[in-house]
């Protein structure tokens, strides 16, 4: 409930503060404590009940409610709750809400410390100003200094225009910390509303991005600007919605049905990640036997080498308890990436998916796989790679799209990785794509071959066409000769 002080304030975004740090005439210790408690109450209260009701009607939570869902109950410790902006001009000096539009601090997820900042769209539209940035930078610095993950709950309209170029510089301070923390501590971004312009660059540099169906949007320039400049007409959802970024741009790693579901997904992901790059991921004893035999694996590979099968089923039969936390499930579906456990230890899974493009590698799948491999390498997560790849996808779109350069990213990522690497060839492993997929020649630690494995320079039909090309040209019936 809003305090008496905030109840007197305007219901508009950013209710004005009333009075100096200590109210006039406040002299005794008890009076000072009472005054502080009233101000503290105002700092943690929303601008008005109506603003909260409006959020809930849109299927959204408040900044503090989001933290309550994300963290263990009662674990949140807030920092800088009573900080206020120092800006002047355009009347902003008359509107100085406590917190400056972002809630920052630390807490725990399953007993493990994490740092968090939650942008408050009810205050200045979640726009970023100097003090806002200082609060975020402080928790990012603390996270890096103590070796703990940092989670950003993003709901911002971008830079605070009233503060001018100061707000732009403030973005730069955050970006610099994103880069400094990259590969050192896990960084997770949760997009819970509209994020435009500078507000999207910080999430883009973090390790994982979560979005919510229908309520999350990310873009550099909005639909109105695009229409003005290019004449294109596009909706918010088509341009920067959750499924757009999950399936087309490859920006969103995970998509939730609603905010609570999305925040629970963040908690689940954390169960696979270490605190930092010097730590090991959490160990959870499996409930199934380590020496079990999965009879379903005998029949999973079809007799026909051209018949598809679902690699998800193979993965789930091999890993502990059939658990596979898939990363980028909607993007570049010809390769699978995600986290599982073997013997209770976290492993990163990379696998070709014969159900899509026959498991061929292409531009998008190569980059998807490379990014995941490098994330695992940074955070001490061993790699298990299931291979069924007929080659790189042919076509002018692939060649002109840079398959040589972008395909090499996956090769580079596997080769430079220092974590344990295991390769399992389930069926086809042809040509350069076989080498790229964590092969023995690029120093995979162990290479297994399923009884159905076929490791070759190319498929038999292609090999026949090259080796016996002249004979086939002379044959009266090339088809019969090829057979």
| 71, two tokens | 């963290």
For 277, what's the count of Cα atoms within 13 Å in the CB-facing half-sphere?
Answer: 17
Beta-sheet strands, E only, within 245-355 = 254-256, 325-327, 335-342, 345-352
**Exposure string over 420-432, b if 16+ CB within 10 A, otherwise e:** ebbbbbbbbbbbb
Residue in 129, 158, 193, 198 annotated catalytic: 198
Percent helix, strand, coil in the chain, to 5, is 40, 20, 40
CA angle 353, 358, 363 (to 5 degrees): 80
In the annotation, is 433 catalytic?
yes
In the annotation, is 197 catalytic?
yes
Pairing type for strands 421-430 and 454-456 reads parallel
Mapped onto helix, strand or coil, the DSSP state of residue 32 is helix
Classify the C-alpha dihedral 305-307-310-313 as positive or negative. Answer: negative
Pairing type for strands 217-219 and 194-196 reads parallel
Mapped onto helix, strand or coil, the DSSP state of residue 461 is helix
- How large is the C-alpha radius of gyration of the chain? 27
In the annotation, is 432 catalytic?
yes
What is each CA distance from 350 to 144, 359, 444, in whole angstroms?
29, 12, 13
In the annotation, is 101 catalytic?
no
DSSP state of 17: P
Nearest to 104 by CA among 157, 69, 75, 64: 64
Pairing type for strands 187-191 and 208-212 reads parallel
DSSP state of 466: H
Q: Phi-psi region for residue 407, left (φ > 0), alpha (ψ -120 to 50) or beta? A: alpha
Residue in 402, 432, 459, 462 annotated catalytic: 432
Residue in 197, 322, 431, 459 annotated catalytic: 197
Burial class (CB in 10 A: 0-12, 13-18, 19+), 315: buried
DSSP 54-120: HHHHTT---HHHHHHHHSPTT--EEESTT------STTGGG---TTTTEEEEEEEETTEEEEEEEE-
Q: Provide the residue count of the chain.
A: 483
Beta-sheet strands, E only, within 120-180 = 150-154
Residue in 159, 252, 433, 447 annotated catalytic: 433
The catalytic residue positions are: 197-198, 432-433
């Amino acid at each position: 409930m809003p305090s008496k002080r905030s109840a007197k304030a305007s219901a508009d975004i950013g209710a004005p503060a009333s009075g100096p740090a200590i109210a006039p005439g406040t002299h005794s210790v008890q009076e000072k404590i009472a005054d502080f408690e009233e101000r503290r109450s105002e700092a943690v209260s929303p601008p008005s009940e109506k603003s909260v009701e409006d959020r809930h009607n849109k299927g959204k939570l408040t900044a503090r409610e989001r933290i309550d869902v994300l963290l263990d109950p009662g674990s949140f410790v807030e920092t800088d709750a009573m900080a206020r902006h120092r800006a002047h001009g355009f009347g902003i000096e008359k509107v100085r809400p406590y917190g400056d539009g972002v809630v920052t601090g630390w807490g725990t997820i399953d007993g493990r410390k994490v740092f968090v900042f939650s942008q408050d769209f009810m205050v200045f539209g979640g726009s970023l100003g100097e003090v806002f940035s200082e609060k975020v930078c402080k928790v990012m610095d603390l996270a890096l200094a103590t070796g703990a993950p940092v989670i950003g709950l993003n709901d911002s309209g971008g830079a605070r225009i009233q503060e001018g170029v100061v707000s732009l510089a403030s973005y730069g301070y955050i970006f610099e910390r994103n880069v400094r923390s990259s590969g050192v501590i896990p960084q997770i971004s949760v997009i819970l509303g509209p994020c435009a312009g500078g507000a999207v660059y910080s999430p883009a540099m973090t390790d994982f991005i979560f979005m919510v169906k229908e309520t999350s949007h990310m873009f550099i320039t909005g639909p109105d600007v695009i229409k003005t400049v290019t004449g294109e007409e596009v909706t918010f959802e088509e341009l920067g919605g959750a499924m757009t970024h999950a399936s087309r741009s490859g920006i969103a790693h995970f998509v939730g049905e609603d905010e609570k579901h999305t925040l629970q997904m963040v908690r689940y992901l954390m169960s696979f990640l270490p605190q930092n790059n010097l730590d090991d991921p959490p160990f959870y004893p499996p409930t199934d036997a380590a020496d079990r035999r999965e009879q379903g694996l005998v029949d999973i590979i079809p007799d026909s080498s051209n018949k598809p099968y679902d690699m998800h089923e193979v993965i789930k039969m091999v890993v502990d308890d059939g658990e596979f936390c898939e990363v980028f499930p909607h993007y570049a579906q010809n390769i699978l990436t995600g986290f599982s456990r073997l013997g209770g230890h976290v492993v990163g899974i990379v696998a070709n998916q014969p159900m899509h493009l026959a498991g061929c590698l292409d531009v998008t799948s190569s980059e998807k796989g490379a990014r995941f491999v490098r994330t695992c390498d940074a955070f001490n997560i061993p790699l298990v790679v299931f291979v069924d790849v007929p080659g790189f996808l042919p076509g002018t779109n692939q060649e002109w799209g840079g398959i040589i350069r972008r395909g090499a990213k996956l090769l580079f990522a596997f080769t430079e990785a220092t974590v344990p690497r295991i390769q399992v060839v389930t069926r086809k492993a042809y040509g350069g794509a076989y080498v790229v997929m964590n092969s023995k020649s690029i120093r995979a630690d162990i290479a297994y071959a399923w009884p159905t494995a076929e490791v070759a320079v190319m498929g038999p039909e292609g090999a026949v066409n090259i080796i016996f090309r002249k004979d086939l040209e002379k044959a009266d019936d090339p088809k019969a000769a090829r057979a």
